[in-house]
Chain A
């Protein structure tokens, strides 16, 4: 049971209230043929809410805030996805939302004991290796998907949480230095560097360059935390050198980028509204026509544009629900990843892990939103939990579980169990 029943009760109540208000908006403003679709959607959302509130009571955690924010965002996403182009119940997205909740608890259970994780770090590298082989053998050099029957998996998505774990480190591990020639080397620092180089090469090979900034953000957060503390080699020279290397890498990437990337970098969407600028120009028109309060659930036209439910999902939500609501949705996700700032992790390993997750989520959201608004080239990266897609939802769920684990480390539980005896 929870330690703060009053806080738990009110959190449940307000999450339910937020969803009921959304469903009332769908009922009164929505575009639907039959009331049955609204009733089915409402029942599915409220049942999932209540079932999850009851289910969470069986897990003794120090913090439930992330769980509440997760269910809030997931059911918001189910409502959004069920309203694109007319209200209907999106069963597929509902199932992936449940899978994301399950993945969150898997992530929580796996990552709360960081000493265990460190002892089994080899399995993280093995997991990344298996995914590399899967990408090399099962996807083509121009594709990033593995098709199994009617399902498609994106194996590069699954590398993200493993890479976050590979970049996480403890202060104790940072003290284990090995002498190679005249350098003091920490093996744990070399592994993420080798991995990011391999990931870059692999992503280049399978033309999934949109994910590269996410991996780069995870690596940079791990690198910065390592040079700031505990080694404290965060000098101005190191910082400038790191910036110069990063800038050179970015310039080289732009210079030698494939033709389709060059095209996206230099395209003028308003002169090319039927070609490569089609999605972004439509997205901008959609955002503008939605205004502050939107056209109403299911009344937008962006549902006719390709990838409206994942790549330009922000614009689709803006059109139907309004810019105000869309920005608040982004705020809720930002609050979810900012919870470790309110309730900081008790170990450095969990801190670096949480930083990696936050970096990945922030960059993903920025790429999607700024891409939709034509502020940067289109990347096709998803907004965690909001965009449709099983791989993305499950991986995002797992990563939020990792974030949750950092707030409830095992050390507390071990001692707590002993006390009654």
Chain B
């Protein structure tokens, strides 16, 4: 194989390499757009405690004491798997998944409830506020 042919092989390999790199960059750009879309379509909500904020970035969120829970509340009054947040058609719903102390929304014991902005959720002794997401600079 002569030098020109080798160069051509190298060029085609480089073109594939650059293409793959561009597509990886495109995936990162799409990730940003996708996150924005997600926040827009789910109302951009979050759960906030006194010292912590939990973004709601997927459509099924487990709340509990266990290490594998999405929102981990290391408190003995909270069951290992206490409640679950789900979203359907833009509405967030909280469901009690067999907890011992129950789930309270604005002081009412509920098995399943649709959440609205600024609702206060009581899980064991922990109080969480369901509110609009705040950017870091707003806090």
Near A by CB (< 8 A), chain B positions 89-107 give: 89-90, 97-98
Q: Give 1 or 0 for each of B24-47: 1 = CB within 8 Å of chain A CB.
A: 111111110110011011100000
CB distance from B21 to the nearest CB of A (A): 9
The interface size bin for chain B is 35 or more
State the main secondary structure of chain B at its contact with A. Answer: helix
> Provided the pairs A324-B13, A342-B28 are in contact, do residues A335 and B87 lie with their beta carbons within 8 angstroms?
no
B17 proximal to A (CB < 8 A): yes
Interface residues of A, CB < 8 Å — how many? Answer: 64
B52-60, B116-124, B128-136: which lies at the interface: B52-60
A4 in contact with B58 (CB, 8 Å): no
A412 in contact with B41 (CB, 8 Å): yes
Near A by CB (< 8 A), chain B positions 11-25 give: 11-20, 22-25
B31 in contact with A342 (CB, 8 Å): yes
State the main secondary structure of chain A at its contact with B. Answer: helix
State the CA gap A175–B114 with chains docked (Å): 19
A328 proximal to B (CB < 8 A): yes
B6 in contact with A115 (CB, 8 Å): no
User: Given the complex, which residues of B lie within 8 Å of A408, measured CB to CB?
Assistant: 34
Residue numbers of A with Cβ under 8 A of B are 3-4, 7-8, 10-11, 14-15, 17-18, 20-22, 24-25, 28-29, 62-65, 68-69, 72, 76, 115, 170-172, 175, 228-230, 232, 293-296, 321-322, 324-325, 328-329, 331-332, 335, 339, 342-343, 345-348, 407-409, 411-412, 414-416, 418-419
Given contacts A63-B30, A415-B90, 10 further A-B contacts (CB under 8 A): A7-B30, A10-B22, A11-B22, A14-B18, A63-B34, A175-B84, A175-B97, A229-B68, A335-B23, A346-B38
30 residue pairs A–B, Cβ–Cβ below 8 Å: A8-B26, A14-B18, A17-B19, A22-B16, A24-B11, A25-B11, A28-B4, A64-B30, A65-B23, A65-B30, A72-B19, A76-B16, A171-B62, A175-B98, A293-B6, A293-B9, A325-B9, A325-B16, A335-B20, A335-B23, A335-B24, A346-B57, A411-B41, A411-B87, A411-B89, A412-B37, A414-B89, A415-B40, A415-B89, A416-B41
